[in-house]
Amino acid sequence: MEEEIKKFAEVEAKRIEKLFGKSNDEMILVDAVKLSEEVGEVMNEILNYLRLQRKEKLDNKEKVKENLASELADIVLVSNIIAKRTGIDLFASLKNKMDIVKRRDY
């Protein structure tokens, strides 16, 4: 799965760059804004999941879980695109961060 996500990020980064006609450096900012948008969408679904939305905005629990899963996946994918653009191996970074968190004394 790791290699599939990395390949997706590479292809998608190039596709979006070509679509918008911007350089890799300019696209880092575009992708950062996109990441912020995706985080907002996750927050909206969390409010829906917790039933803290207006009644007319509430979906059934299964639909909310599907939407939340999709929005969380968007965050992972956009994060991987940013990592690709900046030359970061996000999976190596995740492994390193997990090691750091495991060593924390709570």
Q: Please list the alpha-helical segments (H only) found in the chain.
A: 2-20, 24-49, 61-86, 90-102
How many CB atoms within 10 Å of residue 17? Answer: 18
What CATH number is given to the structural domain containing 26?
Answer: 1.10.287
| Residue whose pair of structure tokens reads 């991987």 in the numeric block | 80
pLDDT in tens, 26-53: 999 999 999 999 999 999 999 999 999 9
Domain residue limits at 20:
2-102
**Number of domains into which the chain is organized:** 1
pLDDT in tens, 43-81: 999 999 999 999 988 989 999 999 999 999 999 999 999
Q: Please list the alpha-helical segments (H only) found in 50-60.
A: none
Alpha carbon 22 to chain centroid distance? 21
Determine the pLDDT at residue 74.
Answer: 97
Asked if 78 and 33 count as a contact pair (C-beta separation under 8 A), the reply is: no
